[in-house]
Amino acid sequence: MSSQPARLAGIDALKAIGSQLIVLHHLAFYGPMSDAAHSLAPTLIDWLADYARIAVQLFLVIGGFLAARSLAPDGLLRTSRPLAALLRRYRKLAVPFAAAIGLAIVAAALARQGMVHPSIPAPPQWGQLLAHLLLLHDVLDIDALSAGVWYVAIDFQLFGLLLLTLWLARRLPTGWPVRAGSALVVALGLASLFWFNRDADWDMWAVYFFGAYGLGVLGYWASNPGRSGWWLAALAAVGIAALMVDMRSRIALALVVALWLALGRRGGWLAAWPRGRVFATFGAISYSVFLVHFPICLLVNSLMSTLAPGMPWLNAAGMLGAWLASNAAGALFYRYVESRDPLALLGKLFLRNRTGLAG
């Protein structure tokens, strides 16, 4: 049994901060409330609308760091069933995602009753819904049914790409897999940082984001016990070189986060600092908050558009209320959907009914 803690306090803190910034970004970017409240705090609302979105880099780096931790902590793929690992990842992402898409569809239908606004998704078509459930909506250039749903598909692609890379490396002769796996991840990371991530035409594919994800993977491996500190220095040098070629704030943030995680693990404080129930709670529910916040924000925008159109202070209060409601809804969604695995519960119910009928 693994001696690694199930949760890492430092990662929970980053997830908590990142998820709140994403909610605030979408509140500032979409809907009429932010337009009405803009005159009260133009600098803050503009910053949230323009820059808070790079918080997604936190999740890309953390995703790579945790994928390395679970799949190949020493650089060698541990699982003998990579397809089963990929399906588990799909299930973990897609089951709550499907439930959230259902909420988004209902919320959009209700929001249309109170306002007309381009942020409201159109009623879905069956093909559009299927593309979302298969996480192919971005690849097929299909309109999104909720904000930020591209990330779920990219997370799955990145996990699959890393899994494939490590599986290919493991098929090499004894003595080579660890070095080959590290070399392939480095090669993919370099290709992303210096080429693919500089061309937005690739932003529906994992290779565009693998620079940040790979920094997380390599940060985990560089922080393994006994590993020379020169590995971290090399990681920092590669990131700085990529920024010298093309200065991108998203890559700068990804590099800082990767180094922070690696140093925290090497120093032994990542698992325990910063302590606090708030970070632990909001870190745990971060994915649920991400999934459900846009439907909640749509509904509050619609309500305020009806009750207080163009009134700055009331719309600012509406933004605050939508932020708080998004977190409350996320906590409920985590408790009753994400953490309970509805498919497993349905399977148990089906088996129980069959047993009862057989009896």
Q: Residue 249 falls within a domain, yes or no?
A: yes
Q: Of 187-191, 211-215, 243-247, 266-270, which gets the smallest average pLDDT? A: 266-270
pLDDT of the residue at 170: 84
Residues 145-176 pLDDT 10s: 999 999 999 999 999 999 999 999 888 776 66
8 Å CB contact between 45 and 123: no
The residue behind tokens 């803009």 is 38
What CA–CA distance (Å, rounded) separates 277 from 152?
Answer: 27
> How many separate domains does the chain show?
1
d(CA 31, CA 150): 19
Is residue 192 in a domain? yes
Q: pTM (2 decimals)?
A: 0.91
Stretch (H or E) spanning 110: helix 82-111
Asked if residue 160 is part of any domain, the answer here is yes
pLDDT at 356: 47
Structural domain for 339, as ranges: 9-358
Q: Look up residue 136 and give its two tokens.
A: 């192919």
> Do residues 99 and 332 touch, judged by C-beta distance below 8 A?
no
Say if 350 falls within a structural domain: yes
Determine, yes or no, domain membership for 3.
no
148: alpha, beta or left? (left if phi > 0; alpha if psi -120 to 50): left
CB 45, CB 37: distance < 8 Å: yes
Residue 1 lies in a domain: no
Q: Give the percent of the chain with pLDDT over 70.
A: 92
In tens, the pLDDT along 92-145 reads: 999 999 999 999 999 999 999 988 888 899 999 999 999 999 999 999 999 999
- The answer to the question of residue 2 being in a domain is no
Q: What is the DSSP letter of 6?
A: S
In a domain, 341, yes or no: yes
- Return the number of other C-beta atoms located less than 10 Å from residue 310's C-beta: 11
Token pair recorded at residue 75: 């650089």
For the segment 13-55, what is each residue's pLDDT rounded down to a tens digit?
999 999 999 999 999 999 899 999 999 999 999 999 999 999 9
Closest by CA position to 10, among listed 80, 66, 57 = 66
